[in-house]
Structure 1
Amino acid sequence: MWADDPRTTLPFRWNLVTPDRLGSLLDGDHHPDLWFAAELVECSAKVLGRSGGGALHFVGRSMDSMYDLLTGVLADDPRLMRLPFSNLSEGWVPHDEWREQARVILTRCGVTPFRLARTSDPVSFVDIVSTGGTFESLYSLLRGWVDEQREPWDVVRRKIRFIGIVDRRETSPKTRRWQQHAGWTAQLPSGAVSNVSMDPSVYSYLANRQEKLTGSFGPSLRERVDTRRDSVVRYALAEAVALVALGRRPETLATLIRNLSNQRPHPKKWLAALTHA
Protein backbone atom coordinates (compact mmCIF):
# COMPACT_ATOMS: atom_id res chain seq x y z
CA MET A 1 0.00 0.00 0.00
CA TRP A 2 1.45 3.39 -1.01
CA ALA A 3 0.83 5.17 2.28
CA ASP A 4 2.74 2.46 4.14
CA ASP A 5 5.70 2.28 1.74
CA PRO A 6 8.79 2.09 4.00
CA ARG A 7 11.02 3.39 1.20
CA THR A 8 9.59 6.89 1.47
CA THR A 9 10.38 8.71 4.71
CA LEU A 10 9.58 12.40 4.69
CA PRO A 11 12.54 14.59 5.68
CA PHE A 12 12.70 15.56 9.33
CA ARG A 13 12.27 19.25 10.18
CA TRP A 14 12.20 20.67 13.69
CA ASN A 15 8.97 21.96 15.19
CA LEU A 16 9.96 25.61 15.48
CA VAL A 17 6.80 26.64 17.29
CA THR A 18 8.38 25.02 20.37
CA PRO A 19 12.06 26.09 20.06
CA ASP A 20 12.78 25.07 23.64
CA ARG A 21 13.07 21.51 22.29
CA LEU A 22 16.05 22.39 20.11
CA GLY A 23 18.52 21.88 22.93
CA SER A 24 22.01 23.16 22.16
CA LEU A 25 21.44 23.49 18.41
CA LEU A 26 20.95 27.24 18.75
CA ASP A 27 24.05 27.75 20.87
CA GLY A 28 26.62 29.92 19.10
CA ASP A 29 27.03 33.30 17.52
CA HIS A 30 24.36 33.09 14.86
CA HIS A 31 22.41 36.35 14.72
CA PRO A 32 20.38 36.19 11.50
CA ASP A 33 19.67 39.40 9.65
CA LEU A 34 16.00 39.40 8.66
CA TRP A 35 16.50 42.18 6.13
CA PHE A 36 13.72 40.68 4.00
CA ALA A 37 11.11 40.54 6.77
CA ALA A 38 8.90 43.46 5.70
CA GLU A 39 8.58 42.13 2.15
CA LEU A 40 7.89 38.63 3.45
CA VAL A 41 5.07 39.86 5.68
CA GLU A 42 3.47 41.78 2.83
CA CYS A 43 3.66 38.80 0.46
CA SER A 44 2.30 36.48 3.16
CA ALA A 45 -0.83 38.60 3.46
CA LYS A 46 -1.38 38.40 -0.30
CA VAL A 47 -0.95 34.64 -0.31
CA LEU A 48 -3.48 34.27 2.50
CA GLY A 49 -5.89 36.45 0.57
CA ARG A 50 -5.63 34.35 -2.59
CA SER A 51 -6.06 31.03 -0.80
CA GLY A 52 -9.78 31.34 -0.17
CA GLY A 53 -9.39 30.47 3.49
CA GLY A 54 -8.41 26.85 2.94
CA ALA A 55 -5.27 24.80 3.42
CA LEU A 56 -1.91 26.15 2.26
CA HIS A 57 0.71 23.66 1.11
CA PHE A 58 4.16 25.24 0.73
CA VAL A 59 5.75 23.19 -2.03
CA GLY A 60 9.42 22.25 -1.80
CA ARG A 61 11.71 24.45 0.29
CA SER A 62 11.73 27.87 -1.39
CA MET A 63 8.93 29.32 0.73
CA ASP A 64 9.96 27.77 4.05
CA SER A 65 10.45 31.28 5.42
CA MET A 66 6.83 32.21 4.71
CA TYR A 67 5.71 28.99 6.35
CA ASP A 68 7.85 29.74 9.43
CA LEU A 69 6.55 33.30 9.69
CA LEU A 70 2.91 32.24 9.45
CA THR A 71 3.31 29.39 11.93
CA GLY A 72 4.64 31.98 14.35
CA VAL A 73 1.47 34.03 13.85
CA LEU A 74 -1.02 31.18 13.76
CA ALA A 75 0.79 28.57 15.89
CA ASP A 76 -0.58 25.10 15.15
CA ASP A 77 -3.20 26.04 12.56
CA PRO A 78 -3.66 22.77 10.63
CA ARG A 79 -4.18 24.66 7.37
CA LEU A 80 -0.47 25.53 7.20
CA MET A 81 1.59 22.64 5.83
CA ARG A 82 4.83 21.94 4.05
CA LEU A 83 4.78 19.68 1.00
CA PRO A 84 8.31 18.26 0.42
CA PHE A 85 7.96 17.88 -3.33
CA SER A 86 10.88 19.00 -5.50
CA ASN A 87 10.72 18.65 -9.26
CA LEU A 88 13.48 17.12 -11.32
CA SER A 89 15.23 18.73 -14.27
CA GLU A 90 13.17 20.34 -16.99
CA GLY A 91 12.23 17.95 -19.75
CA TRP A 92 12.44 14.86 -17.53
CA VAL A 93 9.59 12.42 -18.22
CA PRO A 94 7.88 10.90 -15.14
CA HIS A 95 7.73 7.11 -14.91
CA ASP A 96 5.53 4.72 -12.94
CA GLU A 97 7.82 4.46 -9.91
CA TRP A 98 8.07 8.25 -9.73
CA ARG A 99 4.27 8.56 -9.76
CA GLU A 100 3.94 5.90 -7.08
CA GLN A 101 6.39 7.60 -4.76
CA ALA A 102 4.88 11.02 -5.45
CA ARG A 103 1.51 9.68 -4.38
CA VAL A 104 3.07 8.40 -1.16
CA ILE A 105 4.40 11.88 -0.42
CA LEU A 106 1.07 13.55 -1.16
CA THR A 107 -0.85 11.00 0.88
CA ARG A 108 1.38 11.54 3.91
CA CYS A 109 0.80 15.28 3.54
CA GLY A 110 -2.97 14.84 3.45
CA VAL A 111 -3.45 15.44 -0.29
CA THR A 112 -5.47 12.70 -2.00
CA PRO A 113 -8.21 12.69 -4.64
CA PHE A 114 -10.69 11.49 -2.01
CA ARG A 115 -9.98 14.42 0.30
CA LEU A 116 -9.81 16.99 -2.47
CA ALA A 117 -13.22 15.95 -3.75
CA ARG A 118 -14.77 16.32 -0.29
CA THR A 119 -13.11 19.36 1.27
CA SER A 120 -15.35 22.37 1.72
CA ASP A 121 -12.54 24.93 1.25
CA PRO A 122 -9.97 25.37 -1.52
CA VAL A 123 -6.56 23.70 -1.24
CA SER A 124 -3.70 25.97 -2.36
CA PHE A 125 -0.19 25.06 -3.44
CA VAL A 126 2.39 27.83 -2.94
CA ASP A 127 5.85 27.98 -4.46
CA ILE A 128 8.39 30.32 -5.99
CA VAL A 129 7.90 30.10 -9.74
CA SER A 130 10.18 30.64 -12.71
CA THR A 131 8.83 28.45 -15.51
CA GLY A 132 6.14 26.65 -13.51
CA GLY A 133 7.63 23.18 -14.02
CA THR A 134 7.01 21.97 -10.46
CA PHE A 135 3.40 23.16 -10.55
CA GLU A 136 2.89 21.41 -13.89
CA SER A 137 4.26 18.13 -12.51
CA LEU A 138 2.03 18.44 -9.45
CA TYR A 139 -1.03 19.23 -11.55
CA SER A 140 -0.41 16.33 -13.96
CA LEU A 141 0.08 13.97 -11.05
CA LEU A 142 -3.20 15.01 -9.43
CA ARG A 143 -5.10 14.94 -12.72
CA GLY A 144 -4.14 11.35 -13.50
CA TRP A 145 -4.64 10.23 -9.91
CA VAL A 146 -8.16 11.68 -9.75
CA ASP A 147 -9.15 9.81 -12.90
CA GLU A 148 -7.64 6.56 -11.63
CA GLN A 149 -9.50 6.85 -8.32
CA ARG A 150 -12.71 7.74 -10.20
CA GLU A 151 -13.25 10.90 -8.21
CA PRO A 152 -15.15 13.74 -9.92
CA TRP A 153 -12.56 15.88 -11.69
CA ASP A 154 -15.06 18.69 -12.26
CA VAL A 155 -15.36 18.95 -8.47
CA VAL A 156 -11.65 18.63 -7.72
CA ARG A 157 -10.61 21.22 -10.32
CA ARG A 158 -12.69 23.80 -8.46
CA LYS A 159 -10.98 23.01 -5.16
CA ILE A 160 -7.30 23.38 -6.10
CA ARG A 161 -5.35 26.61 -6.47
CA PHE A 162 -1.78 27.36 -7.48
CA ILE A 163 -0.19 30.52 -6.05
CA GLY A 164 3.12 31.41 -7.66
CA ILE A 165 5.63 33.76 -6.06
CA VAL A 166 7.28 35.72 -8.88
CA ASP A 167 9.90 38.43 -8.99
CA ARG A 168 8.46 41.92 -9.34
CA ARG A 169 9.01 43.53 -12.72
CA GLU A 170 7.71 46.53 -14.59
CA THR A 171 4.51 45.54 -16.35
CA SER A 172 4.08 46.00 -20.08
CA PRO A 173 2.26 44.25 -22.94
CA LYS A 174 5.47 42.28 -23.54
CA THR A 175 5.83 41.07 -19.95
CA ARG A 176 6.13 37.27 -19.91
CA ARG A 177 3.93 35.53 -17.37
CA TRP A 178 4.66 31.87 -16.77
CA GLN A 179 1.01 30.76 -16.68
CA GLN A 180 0.35 32.19 -20.15
CA HIS A 181 2.77 29.62 -21.56
CA ALA A 182 1.50 26.68 -19.50
CA GLY A 183 -1.33 24.90 -21.29
CA TRP A 184 -2.51 23.03 -18.20
CA THR A 185 -3.63 26.22 -16.45
CA ALA A 186 -6.48 26.57 -18.96
CA GLN A 187 -8.03 23.42 -17.48
CA LEU A 188 -8.71 25.22 -14.19
CA PRO A 189 -11.32 27.88 -13.37
CA SER A 190 -10.48 31.55 -13.61
CA GLY A 191 -8.58 32.67 -10.51
CA ALA A 192 -7.32 29.19 -9.66
CA VAL A 193 -3.82 30.19 -10.81
CA SER A 194 -2.50 33.49 -9.47
CA ASN A 195 0.77 35.26 -8.74
CA VAL A 196 2.16 37.27 -5.86
CA SER A 197 5.02 39.53 -6.85
CA MET A 198 8.07 39.85 -4.62
CA ASP A 199 11.00 42.26 -4.55
CA PRO A 200 13.66 40.78 -6.88
CA SER A 201 16.37 40.76 -4.20
CA VAL A 202 14.15 38.84 -1.76
CA TYR A 203 12.98 36.51 -4.53
CA SER A 204 16.59 35.73 -5.48
CA TYR A 205 17.59 35.15 -1.87
CA LEU A 206 14.77 32.72 -1.07
CA ALA A 207 14.99 30.89 -4.39
CA ASN A 208 18.74 30.68 -4.90
CA ARG A 209 20.91 31.77 -1.98
CA GLN A 210 19.16 31.00 1.29
CA GLU A 211 20.45 27.99 3.20
CA LYS A 212 17.67 25.49 3.90
CA LEU A 213 17.12 23.22 6.88
CA THR A 214 16.46 20.18 4.71
CA GLY A 215 17.84 18.85 1.46
CA SER A 216 15.86 18.67 -1.76
CA PHE A 217 13.26 15.95 -1.51
CA GLY A 218 10.72 14.43 -3.82
CA PRO A 219 10.02 11.34 -5.88
CA SER A 220 13.33 9.65 -6.81
CA LEU A 221 15.15 11.79 -4.21
CA ARG A 222 14.38 9.59 -1.22
CA GLU A 223 17.97 9.21 -0.10
CA ARG A 224 18.33 12.86 0.90
CA VAL A 225 16.56 12.72 4.24
CA ASP A 226 19.41 12.71 6.74
CA THR A 227 19.33 15.46 9.35
CA ARG A 228 22.36 17.70 9.03
CA ARG A 229 23.73 19.56 12.02
CA ASP A 230 26.66 21.50 10.57
CA SER A 231 27.26 25.24 11.00
CA VAL A 232 25.37 26.11 7.80
CA VAL A 233 22.27 24.30 9.00
CA ARG A 234 22.63 25.91 12.42
CA TYR A 235 22.46 29.32 10.79
CA ALA A 236 19.42 28.27 8.75
CA LEU A 237 17.82 27.00 11.94
CA ALA A 238 18.55 30.26 13.76
CA GLU A 239 17.01 32.22 10.88
CA ALA A 240 13.92 30.03 10.84
CA VAL A 241 13.46 30.37 14.61
CA ALA A 242 13.84 34.15 14.30
CA LEU A 243 11.09 34.19 11.67
CA VAL A 244 8.75 32.25 13.94
CA ALA A 245 9.51 34.77 16.69
CA LEU A 246 8.83 37.61 14.25
CA GLY A 247 5.44 36.08 13.54
CA ARG A 248 4.63 36.18 17.24
CA ARG A 249 5.15 39.93 17.51
CA PRO A 250 1.97 42.02 17.85
CA GLU A 251 3.14 44.40 15.12
CA THR A 252 3.47 41.53 12.63
CA LEU A 253 -0.05 40.38 13.38
CA ALA A 254 -1.34 43.94 13.08
CA THR A 255 0.35 44.37 9.70
CA LEU A 256 -1.13 41.15 8.36
CA ILE A 257 -4.61 42.10 9.53
CA ARG A 258 -4.31 45.56 8.00
CA ASN A 259 -3.11 44.21 4.66
CA LEU A 260 -5.79 41.54 4.54
CA SER A 261 -8.48 44.06 5.45
CA ASN A 262 -7.53 46.10 2.39
CA GLN A 263 -8.03 43.18 0.00
CA ARG A 264 -11.21 42.74 -2.00
CA PRO A 265 -13.10 40.57 -1.51
CA HIS A 266 -12.31 40.27 2.18
CA PRO A 267 -10.58 36.97 3.03
CA LYS A 268 -12.96 36.45 5.94
CA LYS A 269 -11.71 33.09 7.20
CA TRP A 270 -8.07 34.13 7.50
CA LEU A 271 -9.07 37.49 8.98
CA ALA A 272 -11.09 35.62 11.60
CA ALA A 273 -8.12 33.37 12.38
CA LEU A 274 -5.75 36.32 12.69
CA THR A 275 -8.15 38.28 14.84
CA HIS A 276 -8.49 35.28 17.15
CA ALA A 277 -4.69 34.98 17.26
Structure 2
Amino acid sequence: MTSVPESMPFRWDLITPDQLGSLLDATAKPDLWFLNDLVACTGKVLARSRNGDLFFVGRSLDSMFDLLGGVFTGRAGVQRLYRLPLSFQRPGIGSGRRWQRRPLTPAEVAQGRRFLETVGLTPYALARRDRPAVLVDVVYEGETFTELFTLIRDWIKQEREPWPVIRRKLAFVGVTIRRKTSPNTERWQQRAAWTRTLPASAVANVSLDPGVWSYFGDHQVKLTRSLRPDRWTAEAEGPGRDERTRQALVEAAALVAYGRSPAGRQAVARAIGRDPALSQPWLRTLVTSLTIG
Protein backbone atom coordinates (compact mmCIF):
# COMPACT_ATOMS: atom_id res chain seq x y z
CA MET A 1 0.00 0.00 0.00
CA THR A 2 1.46 3.35 -1.03
CA SER A 3 1.00 6.72 0.60
CA VAL A 4 -2.04 8.76 -0.41
CA PRO A 5 -1.33 10.79 -3.57
CA GLU A 6 -0.82 14.47 -2.79
CA SER A 7 -3.78 15.38 -4.98
CA MET A 8 -6.26 13.27 -2.98
CA PRO A 9 -8.74 15.73 -1.43
CA PHE A 10 -8.63 16.11 2.33
CA ARG A 11 -11.63 14.84 4.28
CA TRP A 12 -12.05 14.83 8.03
CA ASP A 13 -11.98 11.52 9.87
CA LEU A 14 -15.42 11.49 11.48
CA ILE A 15 -14.93 8.17 13.26
CA THR A 16 -12.12 9.53 15.44
CA PRO A 17 -12.90 13.24 15.01
CA ASP A 18 -9.95 14.75 16.88
CA GLN A 19 -9.32 17.06 13.92
CA LEU A 20 -12.63 18.87 14.24
CA GLY A 21 -11.72 21.07 17.19
CA SER A 22 -14.22 23.93 17.39
CA LEU A 23 -15.50 23.54 13.81
CA LEU A 24 -18.88 22.30 15.02
CA ASP A 25 -19.36 25.10 17.54
CA ALA A 26 -22.31 27.46 16.97
CA THR A 27 -23.71 25.40 14.09
CA ALA A 28 -27.38 24.58 13.58
CA LYS A 29 -28.76 21.13 14.26
CA PRO A 30 -28.84 19.30 10.90
CA ASP A 31 -32.13 18.37 9.25
CA LEU A 32 -31.69 14.72 8.33
CA TRP A 33 -34.92 14.72 6.32
CA PHE A 34 -33.55 11.96 4.07
CA LEU A 35 -32.54 9.58 6.86
CA ASN A 36 -35.25 6.94 6.45
CA ASP A 37 -34.61 6.66 2.70
CA LEU A 38 -30.85 6.55 3.27
CA VAL A 39 -31.16 3.77 5.85
CA ALA A 40 -33.44 1.70 3.59
CA CYS A 41 -31.08 2.11 0.64
CA THR A 42 -28.03 1.33 2.78
CA GLY A 43 -29.58 -1.92 3.99
CA LYS A 44 -30.23 -3.00 0.40
CA VAL A 45 -26.70 -2.10 -0.70
CA LEU A 46 -25.31 -4.25 2.11
CA ALA A 47 -27.66 -7.09 1.22
CA ARG A 48 -26.44 -7.07 -2.39
CA SER A 49 -22.76 -6.61 -1.60
CA ARG A 50 -21.90 -10.34 -1.68
CA ASN A 51 -20.12 -9.95 1.68
CA GLY A 52 -17.53 -7.77 -0.02
CA ASP A 53 -15.62 -4.66 0.96
CA LEU A 54 -17.33 -1.46 -0.16
CA PHE A 55 -15.58 1.18 -2.27
CA PHE A 56 -17.61 4.38 -2.55
CA VAL A 57 -16.85 6.01 -5.90
CA GLY A 58 -16.99 9.80 -6.23
CA ARG A 59 -18.68 11.90 -3.56
CA SER A 60 -22.38 11.33 -4.10
CA LEU A 61 -22.76 8.60 -1.47
CA ASP A 62 -20.58 10.18 1.20
CA SER A 63 -23.64 10.10 3.49
CA MET A 64 -23.91 6.32 3.13
CA PHE A 65 -20.18 6.01 3.81
CA ASP A 66 -20.60 8.12 6.97
CA LEU A 67 -23.64 6.15 8.16
CA LEU A 68 -21.85 2.83 7.68
CA GLY A 69 -18.71 4.20 9.27
CA GLY A 70 -20.74 4.62 12.43
CA VAL A 71 -22.56 1.31 12.09
CA PHE A 72 -19.32 -0.67 11.70
CA THR A 73 -17.25 1.17 14.31
CA GLY A 74 -15.45 -1.34 16.50
CA ARG A 75 -17.02 -4.36 14.84
CA ALA A 76 -14.76 -7.16 13.67
CA GLY A 77 -15.48 -9.37 10.69
CA VAL A 78 -17.62 -6.89 8.76
CA GLN A 79 -17.10 -5.19 5.44
CA ARG A 80 -14.28 -2.67 5.19
CA LEU A 81 -15.16 0.76 3.80
CA TYR A 82 -13.10 2.83 1.39
CA ARG A 83 -13.59 6.14 -0.37
CA LEU A 84 -12.47 6.45 -3.99
CA PRO A 85 -13.50 10.06 -4.71
CA LEU A 86 -12.72 9.98 -8.42
CA SER A 87 -14.75 11.86 -11.01
CA PHE A 88 -14.34 11.18 -14.72
CA GLN A 89 -16.08 14.35 -15.92
CA ARG A 90 -14.08 16.16 -18.59
CA PRO A 91 -14.68 18.08 -21.81
CA GLY A 92 -15.86 16.16 -24.84
CA ILE A 93 -14.71 16.11 -28.42
CA GLY A 94 -16.87 16.08 -31.54
CA SER A 95 -20.54 17.06 -31.65
CA GLY A 96 -23.97 15.53 -31.95
CA ARG A 97 -23.93 11.74 -32.14
CA ARG A 98 -20.15 11.83 -32.52
CA TRP A 99 -19.66 13.61 -29.20
CA GLN A 100 -17.59 11.68 -26.69
CA ARG A 101 -15.38 12.44 -23.74
CA ARG A 102 -11.77 13.05 -24.63
CA PRO A 103 -9.51 10.08 -23.78
CA LEU A 104 -7.59 10.14 -20.53
CA THR A 105 -4.02 11.26 -21.03
CA PRO A 106 -1.16 8.88 -20.15
CA ALA A 107 -0.42 11.05 -17.09
CA GLU A 108 -4.05 10.83 -15.96
CA VAL A 109 -4.10 7.06 -16.45
CA ALA A 110 -0.92 6.74 -14.35
CA GLN A 111 -2.38 8.92 -11.61
CA GLY A 112 -5.69 7.08 -11.71
CA ARG A 113 -3.80 3.85 -11.11
CA ARG A 114 -2.05 5.45 -8.14
CA PHE A 115 -5.46 6.30 -6.65
CA LEU A 116 -6.56 2.69 -7.16
CA GLU A 117 -3.37 1.45 -5.55
CA THR A 118 -4.06 3.60 -2.51
CA VAL A 119 -7.23 1.63 -1.77
CA GLY A 120 -5.82 -1.77 -2.72
CA LEU A 121 -7.37 -2.13 -6.17
CA THR A 122 -4.26 -3.06 -8.11
CA PRO A 123 -4.47 -6.04 -10.48
CA TYR A 124 -2.13 -7.99 -8.18
CA ALA A 125 -4.24 -7.26 -5.10
CA LEU A 126 -7.55 -7.97 -6.84
CA ALA A 127 -6.35 -11.40 -7.95
CA ARG A 128 -5.52 -12.27 -4.36
CA ARG A 129 -8.47 -10.80 -2.46
CA ASP A 130 -10.41 -13.04 -0.10
CA ARG A 131 -13.58 -10.93 -0.42
CA PRO A 132 -15.10 -9.20 -3.41
CA ALA A 133 -14.30 -5.53 -4.06
CA VAL A 134 -17.71 -3.88 -4.44
CA LEU A 135 -17.80 -0.49 -6.17
CA VAL A 136 -20.79 1.63 -5.15
CA ASP A 137 -22.05 4.86 -6.72
CA VAL A 138 -25.18 6.68 -7.79
CA VAL A 139 -25.91 5.75 -11.39
CA TYR A 140 -27.80 7.49 -14.17
CA GLU A 141 -26.37 6.03 -17.37
CA GLY A 142 -23.39 4.22 -15.82
CA GLU A 143 -20.64 6.33 -17.40
CA THR A 144 -18.51 6.53 -14.26
CA PHE A 145 -18.66 2.76 -13.73
CA THR A 146 -17.76 2.24 -17.38
CA GLU A 147 -14.72 4.51 -17.14
CA LEU A 148 -13.60 2.97 -13.86
CA PHE A 149 -13.99 -0.57 -15.16
CA THR A 150 -11.98 0.34 -18.27
CA LEU A 151 -9.20 1.84 -16.14
CA ILE A 152 -9.01 -1.34 -14.06
CA ARG A 153 -9.42 -3.78 -16.96
CA ASP A 154 -6.72 -2.16 -19.11
CA TRP A 155 -4.34 -2.28 -16.15
CA ILE A 156 -5.11 -5.97 -15.60
CA LYS A 157 -4.29 -6.71 -19.23
CA GLN A 158 -1.02 -4.81 -19.01
CA GLU A 159 0.00 -6.57 -15.79
CA ARG A 160 -1.14 -9.95 -17.15
CA GLU A 161 -2.97 -10.86 -13.96
CA PRO A 162 -5.60 -13.61 -14.33
CA TRP A 163 -8.86 -12.05 -15.49
CA PRO A 164 -10.88 -15.29 -14.92
CA VAL A 165 -9.94 -14.99 -11.23
CA ILE A 166 -10.38 -11.22 -10.92
CA ARG A 167 -13.78 -11.14 -12.64
CA ARG A 168 -15.11 -13.08 -9.64
CA LYS A 169 -13.62 -10.52 -7.23
CA LEU A 170 -15.20 -7.39 -8.76
CA ALA A 171 -18.79 -6.25 -8.23
CA PHE A 172 -20.77 -3.09 -8.89
CA VAL A 173 -23.81 -1.77 -7.03
CA GLY A 174 -25.57 1.17 -8.63
CA VAL A 175 -27.93 3.41 -6.68
CA THR A 176 -30.52 4.42 -9.26
CA ILE A 177 -33.50 6.78 -9.34
CA ARG A 178 -36.68 5.00 -8.28
CA ARG A 179 -39.15 4.88 -11.15
CA LYS A 180 -42.23 2.89 -12.05
CA THR A 181 -41.07 -0.44 -13.40
CA SER A 182 -42.41 -2.36 -16.34
CA PRO A 183 -41.27 -5.35 -18.41
CA ASN A 184 -39.84 -2.88 -20.92
CA THR A 185 -37.75 -0.92 -18.42
CA GLU A 186 -34.14 -0.73 -19.59
CA ARG A 187 -31.43 -0.69 -16.95
CA TRP A 188 -28.07 1.03 -17.35
CA GLN A 189 -26.12 -2.25 -17.38
CA GLN A 190 -28.05 -3.44 -20.45
CA ARG A 191 -26.35 -0.65 -22.42
CA ALA A 192 -22.91 -1.27 -20.90
CA ALA A 193 -21.39 -4.23 -22.76
CA TRP A 194 -18.58 -4.66 -20.21
CA THR A 195 -21.05 -5.79 -17.54
CA ARG A 196 -21.53 -9.01 -19.52
CA THR A 197 -17.90 -9.94 -18.88
CA LEU A 198 -18.73 -10.32 -15.17
CA PRO A 199 -20.89 -12.92 -13.41
CA ALA A 200 -24.57 -11.96 -13.47
CA SER A 201 -24.64 -11.48 -9.70
CA ALA A 202 -21.73 -9.02 -9.86
CA VAL A 203 -23.89 -6.12 -11.08
CA ALA A 204 -26.81 -5.06 -8.91
CA ASN A 205 -29.03 -2.02 -8.49
CA VAL A 206 -30.76 -0.39 -5.54
CA SER A 207 -33.37 2.28 -6.17
CA LEU A 208 -33.65 5.51 -4.19
CA ASP A 209 -36.35 8.15 -3.91
CA PRO A 210 -35.82 10.71 -6.73
CA GLY A 211 -35.62 13.67 -4.37
CA VAL A 212 -33.03 12.01 -2.15
CA TRP A 213 -31.07 10.75 -5.18
CA SER A 214 -30.96 14.29 -6.58
CA TYR A 215 -29.92 15.73 -3.22
CA PHE A 216 -26.97 13.35 -2.87
CA GLY A 217 -25.97 13.48 -6.53
CA ASP A 218 -26.60 17.12 -7.41
CA HIS A 219 -27.27 19.45 -4.48
CA GLN A 220 -25.68 18.29 -1.22
CA VAL A 221 -22.70 20.36 -0.07
CA LYS A 222 -19.68 18.03 -0.06
CA LEU A 223 -16.71 18.09 2.30
CA THR A 224 -14.19 17.58 -0.51
CA ARG A 225 -13.64 19.21 -3.87
CA SER A 226 -14.56 17.36 -7.06
CA LEU A 227 -11.64 15.24 -8.26
CA ARG A 228 -11.96 15.46 -12.05
CA PRO A 229 -9.14 14.16 -14.27
CA ASP A 230 -7.75 17.67 -14.79
CA ARG A 231 -7.28 17.86 -11.01
CA TRP A 232 -5.90 14.34 -10.49
CA THR A 233 -2.32 15.60 -10.57
CA ALA A 234 -2.96 19.01 -9.00
CA GLU A 235 -1.82 19.78 -5.49
CA ALA A 236 -4.57 19.06 -2.99
CA GLU A 237 -6.41 21.96 -1.45
CA GLY A 238 -6.87 22.18 2.30
CA PRO A 239 -10.26 21.65 3.95
CA GLY A 240 -12.93 24.29 3.55
CA ARG A 241 -13.97 26.18 6.67
CA ASP A 242 -16.76 28.37 5.32
CA GLU A 243 -20.23 28.27 6.87
CA ARG A 244 -21.74 25.93 4.24
CA THR A 245 -18.90 23.44 4.71
CA ARG A 246 -19.20 23.60 8.49
CA GLN A 247 -22.90 22.86 8.27
CA ALA A 248 -22.21 19.95 5.90
CA LEU A 249 -19.70 18.69 8.46
CA VAL A 250 -22.38 18.79 11.14
CA GLU A 251 -24.67 16.72 8.90
CA ALA A 252 -21.95 14.15 8.23
CA ALA A 253 -21.01 13.90 11.91
CA ALA A 254 -24.67 13.40 12.83
CA LEU A 255 -24.92 10.48 10.40
CA VAL A 256 -21.86 8.84 11.93
CA ALA A 257 -23.31 9.33 15.42
CA TYR A 258 -26.65 7.85 14.34
CA GLY A 259 -24.91 4.86 12.82
CA ARG A 260 -23.01 4.25 16.06
CA SER A 261 -26.19 4.36 18.15
CA PRO A 262 -28.20 1.22 18.95
CA ALA A 263 -31.19 2.76 17.18
CA GLY A 264 -29.16 3.39 14.02
CA ARG A 265 -27.67 -0.10 13.93
CA GLN A 266 -31.02 -1.72 14.47
CA ALA A 267 -32.61 0.43 11.76
CA VAL A 268 -29.97 -0.71 9.26
CA ALA A 269 -30.44 -4.31 10.42
CA ARG A 270 -34.20 -4.05 9.80
CA ALA A 271 -33.54 -2.62 6.33
CA ILE A 272 -31.27 -5.56 5.51
CA GLY A 273 -33.88 -7.97 6.84
CA ARG A 274 -36.43 -6.83 4.27
CA ASP A 275 -34.24 -7.99 1.38
CA PRO A 276 -34.62 -11.50 -0.11
CA ALA A 277 -30.84 -11.94 0.17
CA LEU A 278 -31.30 -12.49 3.92
CA SER A 279 -31.29 -16.23 3.16
CA GLN A 280 -27.49 -15.99 2.87
CA PRO A 281 -25.74 -17.07 6.11
CA TRP A 282 -23.21 -14.22 6.16
CA LEU A 283 -26.03 -11.67 5.94
CA ARG A 284 -28.03 -13.28 8.75
CA THR A 285 -24.87 -13.16 10.87
CA LEU A 286 -24.44 -9.46 10.11
CA VAL A 287 -28.05 -8.68 11.00
CA THR A 288 -27.72 -10.54 14.29
CA SER A 289 -24.50 -8.70 15.08
CA LEU A 290 -26.10 -5.30 14.45
CA THR A 291 -29.25 -6.16 16.36
CA ILE A 292 -27.58 -7.32 19.55
CA GLY A 293 -24.48 -5.09 19.40
Relative to the length of structure 2, the TM-score reads 0.87
Aligned position for 2:118 = 108
The Cα of 1:60 is off from its aligned counterpart by 0.6
Give the structure 1 partner of residue 11 of structure 2.
13
Moved more, 132-141 or 18-27: 18-27
Assess if the C-alpha contact under 8 Å between 2:27 and 2:247 holds in 1.
Answer: no
Deviation of 1:263 (Å): 2.9
1:250 partner amino acid:
P
| Residue equivalent to 1:141 | 151
* Residue 196 (structure 2) aligned to one of 172, 177, 186: 186
- Give the match for residue 36 of structure 1: 34
Give the direction of change, closer, same or farther, for the CA distance of 1:13–1:195 in structure 2 (3 Å limit).
same
Q: Deviation digits for residues 1-23 of structure 1, max 9, x if unmatched?
A: x95796x4321111101235410
- Partners of 2:185 and 2:117 lie apart in 1 by 37
Counterpart selection for 1:229 from 222, 241, 252: 241
- Aligned residue for 1:191, secondary structure, equals helix
Whether contact under 8 Å (2:41, 2:206) holds in the other structure is yes
SS in 1 for 2:215: helix
User: Cα distance, 1:91 vs. partner?
Assistant: 2.1
- Residue in structure 2 matching 1:27, options 22, 25, 28: 25
> 8 Å contact 2:30–2:254 — kept in the other structure?
yes
Deviation at 1:269, TM superposition (A): 3.4
Question: Is 1:260 equivalent to 2:272 in the alignment?
Answer: yes
Which one of the candidate residues 46, 49, 65 is aligned to 1:48? 46
Distance 2:127 2:245 in 1: 39
SS of the counterpart of 2:200?
A: coil
Flag the 1:224–1:264 CA change in 2: closer, same or farther, 3 A.
farther
Q: In structure 1, the residue corresponding to 2:277 is in which secondary structure? A: coil
Which of 251, 272, 276 pairs up with 2:285?
272
Amino acid at match of 2:24: L
Which residue in 1 is equivalent to 2:211? 201
Q: Secondary structure at the match of 1:130?
A: coil
Q: Contact conserved, 1:57 with 1:126, CA < 8 A, in 2?
A: yes
| 2:260 counterpart residue number | 248
Letter in 1 for 2:167: R
- After superposition, what is the alpha-carbon deviation per residue over 1:25-75, rounded to whole angstroms, capped at 9, x for unaligned? 101232210000001001101111111111100001000000000001111
Q: CA RMSD in A?
A: 2.1
For the pair 1:239 / 2:248, whether they are aligned, the reply is: no
Count matched residues.
275
Give the Å deviation of 1:273: 4.4
Over 3 Å counting, the alpha-carbon distance change for 1:4 and 1:21 in structure 2 is: closer
What is the rounded CA distance, in whole Å, between the counterparts of 1:214 and 1:264 in structure 2?
A: 36
Deviations 1:103-136 (CA, angstroms, capped at 9, x unpaired): 0000011111111111121110000011111100
- The letter for the 2-side match of 1:70 is L
Contact 2:9–2:227, Cα closer than 8 Å, also in 1: yes
TM-superposed deviation, 1:224: 6.8
Structure 1 residue matching 2:204: 3-state secondary structure = strand
- The aligned amino acid for 2:264 is T
Corresponding letter in the other structure for 1:269: W
* Aligned 8 A contact 2:53 2:80 in 1: yes
Paired residue for 2:172? 162
TM-superposition CA deviations, 1:132-161 (whole Å, max 9, x none) = 111001100111111111110011111101
* Percent of aligned pairs sharing the same letter: 45
1:61 alignment partner AA:
R
**Is the CA contact 1:102–1:218 (under 8 Å) kept in the aligned structure 2?**
no
Q: CA deviation at 1:88?
A: 1.7
